[in-house]
Amino acid sequence: MKEVWRVFRSAILAGVCIGIGGTVYMMVGGVAGAVLFAFGLMTVVLCKYKLYTGTVGFIDFRRGSDWRDLLVIILGNIVGCGLVALLTHFALPDVTAAAEGVLTKRLAKGALQCGALGIGCGFIMTVAVRFAREKQFLPLLFGIPVFILCGFTHSIADAFYYLAAPMSFVAANLGSVLLVYLAIVIGNLIGCNLYRFVLPDDPTLK
């Protein structure tokens, strides 16, 4: 139980980092905002916080404890994003309006397209994290703006956008929001593990 609590607290901090990255992206926008978003992911990697998209590509699918930790991680990430979202609701109304715009676009695309876009993001995230674990950070620095500018969907960043959007808007579309979000989570899982699915026997990818 102590280990689960440690993982959960680490995941909350990772969510806070992503929430900060999402905030600066909502405030600045464009290429500059996408580049600045990378601060959140780089902090997560350097501090070794537990992030869903930095973990799901490296779990052992045969171990129940890995799946348990993954659930704890995504819940902690959402809590961390929620804390930053509360701050934006209180003091940064511009972020709330921008987040509503993101959510509106997600709902317009629907679950299938958003889930497919999540695959692209997941692939980039695992590549970036693999390099970062070897102290090579350029793929992380460039990979984050790439997935944002491509329109690929990141489940934890989206958790922040949804929580930062007006609660009345989220509540009015709750079923669709949850469906889209679940599709992105699954899409990220597939993308993060694409290297395993395509080259399962490659020793360089173990």
Cα separation, 157 vs 144, in Å, equals 11
- Long-range Cβ contact pairs of 173-176 (< 8 A, separation 24 or more): 173/103, 173/107, 176/107, 176/111
Q: How far is CA 104 from the centre of its chain?
A: 18
Query: Given pLDDT bands bounded at 50, 70 and 90, which one contains residue 134?
Result: confident
185 close to 111: Cβ distance less than 8 angstroms: no
Would you state the pLDDT for residue 190? 97
Judged against a pLDDT cut of 90, whether residue 78 lies above it is answered with yes
Q: What's the pTM?
A: 0.94
Query: Residue 199's pLDDT band (boundaries 50, 70, 90)?
Result: confident
Confidence at 64, pLDDT banded by 50, 70, 90: confident
The whole-number pLDDT of residue 202 equals 63
Model pLDDT for residues 109-121, shown as the tens digit of each residue: 999 999 999 999 9
Q: Based on DSSP, count helices (H) and strands (E) in the chain, helices before strands.
A: 11, 0
Residue 50: half-sphere exposure toward Cβ, Cα within 13 Å: 23
Please, which pLDDT band fits residue 5 given cuts at 50, 70 and 90? very high
- Predicted confidence (pLDDT) per residue in 81-105, tens digit: 999 999 999 999 999 999 999 999 9
Radius of gyration of the chain (CA): 16
Percent over 90 (pLDDT), the chain? 85
